[in-house]
Amino acid sequence: MLEFHLDAVGGIAGDMFAAALLDFRPDLEPGLIAALSLCPLIEGVEFELAGYNDGVLTGRRFSVRRKGRRAEEQDVHAQGRYDHGDDHHAHRHHAHAEWRLIREALVISKLDRETVRHAIAIFTHLAEAEGRVHGVTPEHVRFHEVGAWDSIADIVAAAWLIARIGAARWTIGALPLGSGRVRTAHGLLPVPAPATALLLEGFTTIDDGIAGERVTPTGAAILRHLCDPFESIRIPRRLIGSSYGFGTKRLPGLSNCVRLLAFETFDPPLPQDQVVVLECEIDDQTGEDMAHAIDNLRSNKGVLDIVQMPVFGKKGRMMTHLRILTEPAARDDILAAVFDETTTIGIRHSLTDRTILPRQAGTVEAGGRSLRLKVVERPSGRTAKLEADDLTAVKTSAARTRLRRLAEDRIEEEKS
């Protein structure tokens, strides 16, 4: 399976995203052009994929034109001037585009359903962000710049390419925050624009000192649709390719592009997560009180396991070594609980990876009883084990052994 990582070198916008994918898969260009002709929202729009070299890096540009001009060129022509003190988005003279009408047009279009699904999802993120900014429900959002024909074309192109690529996972590196002001239908707004800032919540950002709008609303919505901002990849992957999608702006001393890194995954690895390990040694607490303390600690939310073992400390003293596994989010609460329940005055703690096997709870009928069991998926096959608590009422070891065998036989029958 393929996985993709995006590196927003200069920033990211819808056209840059599409250009990076087409630079990786140029064979998709004819199909994309044919698909875009099926969208009623962008009739009369022309598309061009061209190679581009900024003197440092080489990639592609995805250009959208109507009547031979890009959107910003038409804006300049209509206004008769361009305010170079603002960002590259001039105040566009487009009619307002209602989100519900855009959605209806996409639904009834001849575009394939997967493309429509991705396009509507991206627009939905935009509508929800715009709704929060302006204090209206998403259903009543009326797009301005994002409702322009070029932005719609960029989103539909991105949606079609996402559907064709079929990546298993998308990740994104730190995003350039940008600065300054951007001219919009609502006037001058700070960078990142308010809706963009909402869409970027949770993502890692950097300030590289270069001003301007570095992440557009369209680019931010695509990232929100594809990427989990809190996900980090720790499994081995094979890098199989890279590509570059350029924007139209020129940045001082930096290529205005988004880089795409394509990875091939190996066979599905065993599931992994992370846990916090808390450890301490205690030599001045009675065994009776220690037992109460451990029972109380086990009842805390977020505690996964507690292990105690005897160890020898300084001067040959017998001590109790305490090791507690907790969920990362519960670390601080459990630290406080350990200090309250035990006599220790210092706790070591670390975040560590662990590999876990998929498991699920089940039941089996054996010996006239309904017994709970834990079913575990191992690399070599499925195993199951009865819950020990369900056997406490069974007298004698021989009877418990017979019951376990009956349960194992039932499990084997179910497997076959």
Q: Which of 56, 88, 70 is nearest to 259 (CA)?
A: 56
What class, spelled out in words, does domain 272-355 have in CATH? alpha beta
Note down pLDDT in tens along the chain; length 416 residues.
899 999 999 999 999 999 999 999 999 999 999 999 998 887 778 888 999 999 999 999 998 887 666 655 544 333 332 232 334 443 344 446 788 888 999 999 999 999 999 999 999 999 999 888 888 887 877 776 554 678 888 999 999 999 999 999 999 999 999 999 887 766 788 989 899 999 999 999 999 999 999 999 999 999 999 999 988 777 788 999 999 999 999 999 999 999 999 999 876 667 788 999 999 999 999 999 999 999 999 999 999 999 999 999 888 889 999 999 999 999 999 999 999 999 999 999 999 988 888 888 877 776 677 778 788 888 787 777 878 887 777 888 888 888 778 777 766 766 65
What is the domain partition of the chain in residue ranges? 2-265, 272-355, 359-415
Residues 160-171 as b/e (b if ≥16 CB within 10 A, e otherwise) read bbbbbbeeebbb
Within a 10 A sphere around the Cβ of 204, how many other Cβ atoms?
11
* Residue 343, SS3 per DSSP: coil
Q: What is the pTM of this model?
A: 0.65
Q: Could you please report the per-residue DSSP string of 298-335?
A: HTSTTEEEEEEEEEE-GGG-EEEEEEEEE-GGGHHHHH
388: Cβ–Cβ under 8 A, 6 or more apart, which residues? none
CB neighbours of 96 closer than 8 A, spacing ≥ 6? 142, 143, 144, 147
